[in-house]
Structure 1
């Protein structure tokens, strides 16, 4: 049985993942364009225009990042909490089952698998998005050494400062960073809880 809240969380995570994938493609496109700004001999005016356009494109992507964090941050946080609690409960009943005390596993354990899978895909997409954003400053730095014009160098330096202050990061309302380390931390915490439970559980004859 799938509860309405759990179904809604899945839909929101899928929608959030779709937006993340779109943002990843835009970031990759921006990074490729930046690398090609000084790839050939162009007019100085054309290069200036391209860098200004690059600044504007990154500004729009950063605003989209803020918008997605505002709209989906609470939902993703609730989903993470729900998955963590359900995994802990299912692991608790699984320990009883394996020790022979209770022959019933977590009642809703099977229904958690789709939500856990969607959450994993969302975290992977979020990490790819943040990694793509980190490549843009590297691309800007690579073209900085190819520029001899003072005005162009100042414009590139301003672009670098913009990238420094407008970092694209996805989090659940500032609670946790959405990447694969989060899932690893969840599984580590659950394992720790189960170790304490097995050690402190009463022994039956």
Structure 2
């Protein structure tokens, strides 16, 4: 995780006092920190995109298969509960745990992806806070801010859908829709 504590930044030697009164070594150190931060951020974004490209198909297949398993298992659970000679309470618990297991896989993948994207966006706030502290480096800070703006880090599953919290809402809505359709079709036949 990437954290930005503005009080911690203020305590660094290259940031103490006004930039005009700082020795040139401390000003140079501040410039080096900004340049290194820019390089690190760029590399982390490149690595994140590479990982997303490598695991694109696996994530897509995993999420789609989990969606199908959740839907079919929910329908099987409904039929088991509806059957008067159905199983006991242990069977019901196992069926719901099975559904929860598959849903947790979708939740974990989307949560990690969404939090990584969110942390990448939080860097912009940290850079914005440095604007007033380092007026001498405003051009570097502005360039870094533009770089952050243009490197919008998002994770997708083969480009079909973004791996964020809206995916969880979509999965729940789709499973519910299919479940209701199956129940209605069952009653008509």
Shift of residue 61, structure 1, vs aligned partner? 0.4
How many residue pairs are counted as aligned between the two chains?
174
Higher relative contact order (CA 8 A, sep 6+): 1
The aligned counterpart of 1:197 is 182
Q: Which runs of 5+ in 2 are unaligned?
A: none
Asked if 2 retains the 8 angstrom alpha-carbon contact of 1:83 and 1:112, the reply is: no
Deviations 1:21-54 (A, max 9, x none): xxxx3x33xx458971775346221111111011
Given that 1:124 and 1:179 are in contact with CA atoms closer than 8 Å, whether structure 2 keeps it comes out as yes
| Paired position in structure 1 for 2:75 | 92
Q: Does 1:40 align with 2:27?
A: no
1:75 pairs, out of 58, 73, 77, with 58
Q: Which residue of 2 aligns with 1:21?
A: none
Task: Give the equivalent residue in structure 1 for 2:36.
Answer: 53
Question: How far does the alpha carbon of each residue in 1:77-113 deviate from its partner, in whole angstroms, 9 at most, with x for none?
Answer: 110000000111112222222332894889x956665
Structure 1, unmatched stretches of 5+, are: 1-24
Give me the TM-score of the superposition, normalised by structure 1. Answer: 0.72
Q: Deviations over 1:146-191 (max 9, x none)?
A: 3332xx2111111011101112221112222212331222111111
> Under a length normalisation based on structure 2, what TM-score does the superposition of the two structures give?
0.77
Residue deviations 1:127-164, cap 9 Å, x none? 22112111100111111123332xx2111111011101
